[in-house]
Amino acid sequence: MINVFGHLNPDSDAICSAVATAWWLNQRGQRAKAWRLGEMNRETQFIFQQAGVSAPELLQGSLKDKPVWLVDFTEPAQGPETLEESLVLGVIDHHRLGGLFTREPADICIKPFGCSATVLWETMSPEIRRALPPSLATLMLGAILSDTIAFRSPTTTETDRQAATRLSALAGIDCEAFSSELLQAKTDIRGIDAQTLLHRDLKSFTLQGKKVFIAQIELASLRQVAELQPSLLHQLETLANETSADICVLMLTDISHTCSELFFSGPARPADSSCRVPGMLSRKKQLLPWLDERLNELRRTS
């Protein structure tokens, strides 16, 4: 049995595309089961409800010597503790190649698209595409709309748009109406405490030899977190101390006004503890290169 899963603190793509990837593998005659590596956020719950699909089970136990397919990540720190003891058979991803090592040659497909679901769609044969159930087409469409912020993100490609068009037809869904409801669920943070918000979409990276954590919170308006901001910054400091990270970043993304406010903690943080970056929506395509450049400048001048 192949274990298929996305990253820790999963977003919609990590869970939706894991389920679709497991189905695809089974269609190819490879027994596979999808798992999740954390609780589903409100947006992901909405997508699964629309699809009429049950959530995958939470992955528990050791992966030592077990076959796995990774979805939406290749950074070992973003996976289970025993990931590096597993037998990685394949990867479906749209991020930079992380520090993953495999024991044997693996079936790896990484493309510069806006979503792993698009990568999977492009990988599917015409026969398998035709066999795709409407429920899974809904999951894949939801993942694309989530990751591209309904095509607003600079990570969006024409391939993403084309895949979404085909998937919405297969799912029998009005893409515009679905997008509107999905974004409402994505930005709904009512009743969620600061610690949960900070860890909900938290990822670990290595940049310029530095251990980096980036937490992104996507909002309809930055006013949504005005009262929570002191608590969020306290949690950011706590994260830096508890993980011994070189730098921790809180990325508050206003999808309506297309900008992000960044807050920093940790010994390698910039001189300014916060800044506002117009046009920044993507952690992958915008924040990571931006931060990498600044850490490189710091390394050269120190």
CATH number of 194-301: 3.10.310.20
Q: What is the percentage of the chain residues whose pLDDT exceeds 90?
A: 93
Answer for the pair 87, 66: CB distance below 8 angstroms, yes or no: yes
More confident residue, 2 or 98: 2
The burial class, CB within 10 Å (0-12 / 13-18 / 19+), for 220 is middle
**SS3 label, residue 225:** helix
59 within 8 A of 35, measured Cβ to Cβ: yes
pLDDT for residue 302 is more than 70: no
| 158-182 tens-digit pLDDT | 999 999 999 999 999 999 999 999 9
Where in the chain do CATH 3.10.310.20 domains reside? 194-301
Confidence of residue 200 (pLDDT cuts 50, 70, 90): very high
| Tens digit of each residue's pLDDT (9 = 90 or more) over 9-45 | 999 999 999 999 999 999 999 999 999 999 999 999 9
Q: How confident is the model over 222-277, as pLDDT tens digits? A: 999 999 999 999 999 999 999 999 999 999 999 999 999 999 999 988 878 899 99
Distance in angstroms (rounded) separating the CA atoms of residues 10 and 57? 13
- 2-186 CATH: 3.90.1640.10
Q: Mean pLDDT in the chain?
A: 96
Q: Is residue 295 pLDDT above 90, yes or no?
A: no
The pLDDT of residue 301 is 72
> Is the per-residue pLDDT at 298 higher than 80?
no
pLDDT above 90: residue 91 = yes
Q: Inform me whether the pLDDT recorded for 191 exceeds 80.
A: yes
User: Are the CB atoms for 219 and 187 separated by under 8 Å?
Assistant: yes
Find the mean pLDDT for residues 125-148: 98
In terms of Cα–Cα distance, which of 59, 116, 60 is closest to 92? 116
- Alpha-helical regions (H) of 75-174: 116-123, 126-131, 134-147, 158-171
pTM comes to 0.94
User: For the chain, percent helix, then strand, then coil, each to nearest 5?
Assistant: 45, 20, 35
Tokens of 152: 């607003």
Residue ranges, CATH 3.90.1640.10, the chain: 2-186
Nearest-angstrom CA–CA distance, 72 and 62: 20
